[in-house]
């Protein structure tokens, strides 16, 4: 049996001793989270989306009982979406996991740790370091991500680990890295208010980022709002121009716009000459995208294309481009994101107020995972393959350089293929629910069955993925632990502990710490005692990087400042602005400091509609009250009232009448992989030939097709071929 040393770590308030691990009832029960007034308030950051709203948490006897939007926080300025108001409710759900479980049966932490280490070690001893992998998340704190990445890769000796952020923003990462030399979303939310033209491509902020949309509504410049989305979404309805293009024809559209800008002499040639590379080749390349051809592929008219191009041409003071999953989740996602970046560069719309090629990210700490998860990048935005980077990070964290792998991880889909082929035998899944959210669900769940050892770490043991685990580890959730998140505009904020986790659940941080001890790595991780101690380690890893945050002293400084955007170098620690954007000096992070024009010809999606499956299935967010696989939001009665009581399929009147489908009829939607029966809703919001389903229903990804962008390896969730027929009882 493993014994635990008594570390100095204090998270709740009691020390972590073997005794307390065995009997967590004693573990801080009834004690007030540190540094809080028992009947006061605590300022925190919402743990759902990447907007990163500030919340005020109201305490009674040391425990948060209510959440309201923080009026002083620069992000949300006193507003919150329904999920923020209901942030505390999911913590009280009846199915919160309270003990570790082995093969579905409750066990204690000491046994769980013993099993974890024995099984992982024996798999790796027998099959090598590549035989065990982890899948992490954009929904735990940066300090937890950093701990997990360092523990798994530098401590336990794993090589492969990725996260649900691959499903979400891997495309933006790849696109920025190639185009700008670093994964650097350049904007600040003030740009929503300061733009004359806002172009939203494959983004539905009214539903997915409602508080960002509030910032758009605060724009006093009477902006043009242009939405490119095959569906007439809530955002499209609020737009001044909506281009309902054929799904996945964005790349052609964007090249067509570049063609028109060049033809019409509407390019910012000074900016292009001084600050970019590859323009001449790009200009020649887009000559093959004249408007007539682009119109026939995208389904728009030549006049529409011209209006669009005229709206973003040089002379328009401030144009900002925003994209989300309609772009990132495509078979050619990276090149599409770069085609957006190319337009911003051509028109000189970067580095200035109200401009930018801006990827909006999704999960509360997707941006933290980009810098600190140690999956694709070595901690701090470094490169595993670069020996100087390995030396630097090793020194910053005080580990021997030999402990740092010299190769990056396989991507998520490649890890899964490794499981399928038997190369990977043990998988550890943390704070994500891929048995619902990954593409082609049957294939995913079948391959999980091949594993010798599946560990799932979640706040609920009822999730589709948790139910398949050999070993389940119960996690404390947002509100029950402390740490930092980074939001879409690169702002770091502190999320506070205001509740005690139920039963024996421990914060992810503490679970990683237990594993470090149990594995025999206590000495190596001696400095990793608390989230705030790890924050200091992560800070050191960013020194001299574009994301340098060495100027942020500590959590207190973050709280006092209303969050702080990266970068903040030490030299600027006392002199910085609340809203900052990148590239105001037009110096990019490439070796020649020029942004690159990158392009490839468009290709067709991997599964096109045909006679058997004539419709395209688009998937995405349903309502602002529903979060992903709904493990959390479905626990709130308030949020449930704000969402449809039953999932429905949106289908165009023409396609419906062809199948004699009336509104409210039960229909079967079928793809090559599965079928699902549900209610039809006839709506002109989808175009003919297309249907829409929200991703929140667990059956939706039974239908989707396993295909990824070749550069970012992000799944193409929003395009597969289906048929819909009336369900005859
Ligand atoms: N309420 C709520 N908010 C959320 C989330 C949630 O689950 N619920 N999730 C968060 C996360 S992690 C993310 S990543 C974001 C996602 O935020 P969004 O990306 O804004 O949301 P989606 O609905 O997935 O996709 C956006 C739009 O892409 C469109 N689209 C589909 N195919 C194409 C195409 O080929 N071209 C174009 N131009 N558009 C296309 C869809 O019709 C959809 O309206 O939301 C975040 N916010
Ligand atoms: N068809 C389709 N599928 C999609 C998408 C789409 O547009 N269409 N979008 C994709 C995108 S962008 C994303 S981001 C993914 C999201 O997919 P997932 O990451 O699988 O979805 P979530 O429901 O957010 O899962 C988070 C899990 O973490 C648990 N959890 C929450 N907080 C904590 C914590 O602090 N610690 C621990 N250990 N666990 C915690 C929750 O209970 C939940 O089980 O879905 C993807 N799937
Ligand atoms: S917009 Fe996002 S961060 Fe803000 S309250 Fe809603 S879910 Fe939370
Ligand atoms: Mo996402």
Give per-residue pLDDT as tens, 61-75: 889 999 999 999 999
| pLDDT at 28 > cutoff 50 | no
Burial class (CB in 10 A: 0-12, 13-18, 19+), 35: exposed
- Ligand 1 site: residues with CB under 6 angstroms? 49, 168, 201-204, 207-209, 228-231, 233, 247-248, 250, 324-326, 362-363, 618, 620-621, 624, 626-628, 718
301, 332, 359 - which closes a domain:
359
- Domain containing 280 equals 170-359
Helical H segments across 465-543, by residue range: 508-519, 531-541
Q: 172: CA distance to ligand 2 center in Å?
A: 18
387 within a domain of the structure (yes/no): yes
Cβ contact 146:369 at 8 Å? no
Q: Which two tokens stand for residue 625?
A: 């009250």
Straight-line distance from the first to the last Cα atom of the chain, in angstroms, rounded to the nearest whole number:
58
Give yes or no: residues 174 and 153 share one domain.
Answer: no
Cα–Cα distance, 341 to 318 (Å, whole number): 15
| Predicted pLDDT at 34 | 60
Cα within 13 Å of Cα(329), Cβ side:
27
CA distances from 681 to 101, 362, 693 (A): 42, 27, 11
pLDDT 10s digits, 203-243: 999 999 999 999 999 999 999 999 999 999 999 999 999 99
359, 383, 407 - which closes a domain:
359
Give yes or no: residues 509 and 620 share one domain.
Answer: no
Cα–Cα distance, 297 to 212 (Å, whole number): 32
700 within a domain of the structure (yes/no): yes
| Predicted pLDDT at 66 | 96
587 within a domain of the structure (yes/no): no
How distant is the alpha carbon of residue 125 from its chain centre? 33
Question: Which residue's alpha carbon is at the smallest distance from atom 28 of ligand 2?
Answer: 431
Cα–Cα distance, 378 to 193 (Å, whole number): 35
Give yes or no: residues 182 and 303 share one domain.
Answer: yes
Rounded percentage of the chain residues whose pLDDT exceeds 70? 95
- Arithmetic mean of pLDDT, 616-638: 98
Cα–Cα distance, 725 to 704 (Å, whole number): 18
Q: 266: CA distance to ligand 2 center in Å?
A: 42
- Ligand 3 site: residues with CB under 6 angstroms? 46, 48-49, 51-53, 76, 80-81, 83-84, 210-211
Cα–Cα distance, 722 to 717 (Å, whole number): 13
Cα–Cα distance, 135 to 433 (Å, whole number): 10
pLDDT band at 87 (very low <50, low <70, confident <90, very high): very high
Query: What 3-state class would DSSP assign to 102?
Result: strand
> Considering Cα of 337, then 341, then 342, then 343, what sign does the dihedral take?
positive
Cα–Cα distance, 421 to 250 (Å, whole number): 35
Cα–Cα distance, 108 to 106 (Å, whole number): 7
| pLDDT at 594 > cutoff 60 | yes
- Arithmetic mean of pLDDT, 500-513: 95
Question: Which residue's alpha carbon is at the smallest distance from atom 26 of ligand 2?
Answer: 432
pLDDT 10s digits, 517-536: 999 999 999 999 999 999 99
pLDDT band at 2 (very low <50, low <70, confident <90, very high): low
Q: Are strands 224-228 and 197-201 parallel, antiparallel or unpaired?
A: parallel
Cβ contact 613:672 at 8 Å? yes
Q: Which two tokens stand for residue 126?
A: 């027998």
Cα–Cα distance, 505 to 477 (Å, whole number): 9
CA distances from 328 to 133, 192, 226, 411, 565 (A): 25, 20, 18, 16, 24
| pLDDT at 648 > cutoff 70 | yes
Angle between helices 250-263 and 291-298 (to 10 degrees): 160
Cα–Cα distance, 417 to 162 (Å, whole number): 13
> Considering Cα of 445, then 449, then 452, then 456, what sign does the dihedral take?
positive
Cβ contact 23:43 at 8 Å? no
pLDDT 10s digits, 439-489: 999 999 999 999 999 999 999 999 999 999 999 999 999 999 999 999 999
45, 68, 92 - which closes a domain:
92
Neighbouring residues of 709: CB distance < 8 A, sequence distance ≥ 6:
170, 171, 330, 331, 332, 333, 334, 716
Give yes or no: residues 488 and 340 share one domain.
Answer: no
Give yes or no: residues 355 and 371 share one domain.
Answer: no
438 CA closest ligand 2 atom index: 47
Other Cβ atoms less than 10 A from the Cβ of 392: the count is 20
Q: 143: CA distance to ligand 3 center in Å?
A: 21
CATH code where residue 59 lies: 2.20.25.90
Give yes or no: residues 341 and 468 share one domain.
Answer: no
Q: 437: CA distance to ligand 2 center in Å?
A: 7
CATH code where residue 719 lies: 2.40.40.20
Other Cβ atoms less than 10 A from the Cβ of 273: the count is 10
| Predicted pLDDT at 37 | 80
Angle between helices 291-298 and 302-312 (to 10 degrees): 110
* H helix or E strand, kind and range, residue 196: none
| Predicted pLDDT at 20 | 44
Cβ contact 567:549 at 8 Å? yes
| pLDDT at 318 > cutoff 80 | yes
Q: 637: CA distance to ligand 1 center in Å?
A: 24
| pLDDT at 36 > cutoff 90 | no
pTM of the complete model beyond 0.85: yes
586 within a domain of the structure (yes/no): no
| pLDDT at 22 > cutoff 50 | no
Q: 329: CA distance to ligand 1 center in Å?
A: 9
Q: Which two tokens stand for residue 322?
A: 């925003």
| Predicted pLDDT at 717 | 98
| pLDDT at 9 > cutoff 70 | no
| pLDDT at 17 > cutoff 90 | no
Q: Is 90 in the pocket of ligand 2 (CB under 6 A)?
A: no
Cβ contact 199:186 at 8 Å? no
Give yes or no: residues 225 and 127 share one domain.
Answer: no
Give yes or no: residues 342 and 467 share one domain.
Answer: no
Q: Pick from 141, 142, 164, 705 the residue to mutate for probing ligand 2's pocket: most ligand atoms within 8 Å of its CB.
A: 164
- Give the phi and the psi of residue 645 in degrees, each rounded to 5: -75, -20
Q: Pick from 237, 238, 715, 718 the residue to mutate for probing ligand 1's pocket: most ligand atoms within 8 Å of its CB.
A: 718
Query: What 3-state class would DSSP assign to 561?
Result: coil
Give yes or no: residues 391 and 534 share one domain.
Answer: yes
Q: Pick from 202, 251, 252, 298 the residue to mutate for probing ligand 1's pocket: most ligand atoms within 8 Å of its CB.
A: 202
Cα–Cα distance, 226 to 652 (Å, whole number): 23
Number of independent structural domains in the chain: 4
Give yes or no: residues 445 and 468 share one domain.
Answer: yes
Neighbouring residues of 347: CB distance < 8 A, sequence distance ≥ 6:
261, 266, 267, 268, 312, 313, 314, 316, 319
Q: Is 369 in the pocket of ligand 2 (CB under 6 A)?
A: no
- Give the phi and the psi of residue 485 in degrees, each rounded to 5: -115, 155
Cα–Cα distance, 700 to 703 (Å, whole number): 6
Q: 361: CA distance to ligand 4 center in Å?
A: 7
Give yes or no: residues 47 and 138 share one domain.
Answer: no
680 has which bridge partners?
649
Give yes or no: residues 295 and 235 share one domain.
Answer: yes
- Arithmetic mean of pLDDT, 696-713: 98
Nearest Cα neighbor of 526 from 116, 155, 160, 161 is 155
84 CA closest ligand 3 atom index: 5
Ligand nearest to the CA of 206: 1
Query: What 3-state class would DSSP assign to 729?
Result: coil
Q: Rounded mean pLDDT of the chain?
A: 94
Q: 328: CA distance to ligand 4 center in Å?
A: 10
* H helix or E strand, kind and range, residue 170: helix 170-180
| pLDDT at 136 > cutoff 50 | yes
Cα within 13 Å of Cα(510), Cβ side:
31
Nearest Cα neighbor of 488 from 53, 167, 181 is 53
What's the DSSP call for residue 460? B
Question: Which residue's alpha carbon is at the smallest distance from atom 33 of ligand 1?
Answer: 326
Q: 697: CA distance to ligand 3 center in Å?
A: 21
Query: What 3-state class would DSSP assign to 506?
Result: strand
Cα–Cα distance, 620 to 704 (Å, whole number): 12
Q: Is the peptide bond before 616 cis (omega within 30 degrees of 0)?
A: no
pLDDT 10s digits, 146-166: 999 999 999 999 999 999 999
522 within a domain of the structure (yes/no): yes
176 within a domain of the structure (yes/no): yes
Q: 694: CA distance to ligand 3 center in Å?
A: 19
Cα within 13 Å of Cα(356), Cβ side:
28
579 within a domain of the structure (yes/no): no
- Arithmetic mean of pLDDT, 694-703: 98
Question: Which residue's alpha carbon is at the smallest distance from atom 6 of ligand 1?
Answer: 627
Q: Which two tokens stand for residue 579?
A: 């809203």
605 within a domain of the structure (yes/no): no
CATH code where residue 324 lies: 3.40.228.10
| Predicted pLDDT at 232 | 98
Cβ contact 234:358 at 8 Å? no
| 483-486, strands of its sheet edge to edge | 483-486, 491-495, 564-565
What's the DSSP call for residue 60? E
């Amino acid at each position: 049996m493993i014994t635990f040393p008594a570390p100095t770590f204090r998270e709740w308030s009691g020390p972590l001793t073997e005794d307390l691990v065995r009997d967590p009832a004693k573990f801080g029960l009834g004690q007030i989270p540190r540094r809080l007034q028992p009947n006061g308030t605590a300022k925190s950051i919402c743990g759902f989306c990447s907007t990163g709203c500030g919340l005020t948490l109201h305490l009674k006897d040391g425990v948060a009982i209510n959440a309201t939007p923080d009026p002083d926080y620069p992000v949300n300025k006193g507003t919150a979406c329904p999920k923020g108001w209901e942030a505390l409710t999911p913590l009280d759900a009846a199915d919160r996991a309270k003990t570790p479980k082995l093969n579905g049966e409750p066990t204690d932490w000491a046994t769980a740790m013993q099993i974890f280490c024995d099984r992982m070690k024996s798999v790796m001893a027998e099959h090598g370091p590549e035989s065990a992998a982890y899948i992490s998340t954009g929904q735990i704190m940066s300090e937890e991500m950093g701990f997990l990445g360092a523990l798994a890769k530098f401590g336990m000796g794993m090589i492969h680990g990725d996260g649900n952020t691959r499903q979400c923003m891997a495309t933006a990462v790849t696109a920025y890295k190639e185009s700008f030399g670093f994964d650097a979303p350049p904007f600040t939310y003030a740009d929503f208010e300061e733009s004359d033209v806002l172009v939203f491509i494959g983004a539905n902020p009214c539903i997915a980022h409602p508080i960002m949309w509030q910032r758009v509504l605060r724009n006093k410049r009477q902006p043009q709002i242009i939405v490119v989305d095959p569906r007439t979404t809530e955002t499209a309805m609020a737009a001044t121009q909506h281009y309902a293009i054929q799904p996945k024809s964005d790349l052609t559209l964007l090249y067509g716009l570049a063609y028109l800008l060049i033809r019409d002499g509407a390019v910012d040639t000074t900016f292009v000459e001084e600050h970019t590379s590859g323009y001449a080749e790009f200009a020649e390349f887009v000559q093959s995208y004249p408007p007539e051809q682009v119109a026939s592929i995208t389904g728009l008219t030549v006049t529409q294309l011209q209006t669009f191009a005229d709206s973003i041409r040089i002379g328009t003071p401030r144009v900002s481009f925003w994209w989300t999953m309609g772009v990132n989740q495509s078979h050619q996602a990276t090149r599409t994101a770069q085609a957006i970046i190319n337009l911003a560069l051509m028109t000189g719309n970067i580095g200035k107020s109200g401009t930018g090629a801006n990827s909006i990210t999704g999960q509360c700490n997707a941006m933290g995972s980009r810098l600190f998860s140690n999956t694709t990048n070595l901690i701090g935005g470094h490169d595993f393959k670069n020996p100087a980077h390995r030396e630097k990070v090793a020194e910053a964290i005080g580990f021997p350089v030999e402990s740092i792998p010299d190769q990056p991880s396989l991507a998520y889909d490649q890890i899964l293929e490794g499981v399928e082929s038997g190369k990977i035998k043990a998988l550890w899944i943390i704070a994500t629910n891929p048995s619902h959210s990954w593409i082609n669900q049957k294939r995913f769940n079948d391959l999980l069955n091949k594993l010798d050892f599946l560990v799932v770490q979640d706040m609920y043991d009822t999730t589709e993925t948790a139910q398949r685990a050999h070993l389940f580890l119960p996690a404390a959730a947002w509100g029950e632990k402390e740490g930092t998140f980074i939001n879409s505009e690169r702002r770091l904020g502190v999320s506070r502990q205001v509740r005690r986790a139920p039963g024996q659940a421990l914060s992810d941080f503490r679970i990683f710490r237990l594993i470090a001890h149990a594995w025999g790595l206590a000495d190596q991780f001696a400095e990793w005692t608390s989230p705030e101690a790890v924050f200091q380690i992560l800070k050191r890893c960013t020194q001299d990087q574009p994301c340098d945050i060495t100027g942020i002293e500590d959590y207190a400084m973050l709280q006092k400042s209303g969050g702080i955007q990266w970068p903040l170098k030490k030299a600027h620690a006392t002199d910085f602005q609340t809203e900052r954007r990148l590239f105001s000096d037009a110096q990019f992070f490439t070796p020649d400091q020029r942004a690159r024009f990158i392009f490839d010809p468009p290709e067709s999606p991997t599964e096109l509609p045909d006679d058997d499956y004539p419709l395209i299935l688009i998937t995405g967010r349903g309502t602002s009250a529903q979060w992903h696989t709904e493990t959390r939001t479905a626990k709130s009665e308030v949020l449930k009232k704000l969402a449809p009581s039953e999932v429905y399929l949106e289908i165009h009147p023409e396609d419906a009448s062809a199948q004699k489908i009336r509104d409210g009829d039960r229909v079967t939607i079928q793809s090559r992989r599965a079928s699902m029966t549900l209610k039809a809703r006839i709506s002109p919001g989808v175009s003919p030939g297309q249907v829409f389903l929200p991703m929140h229903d667990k059956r939706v990804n039974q239908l989707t097709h396993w295909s990824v962008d070749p550069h970012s390896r992000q799944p193409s969730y929003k395009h597969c071929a289906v048929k819909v027929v009336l369900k005859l009882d």
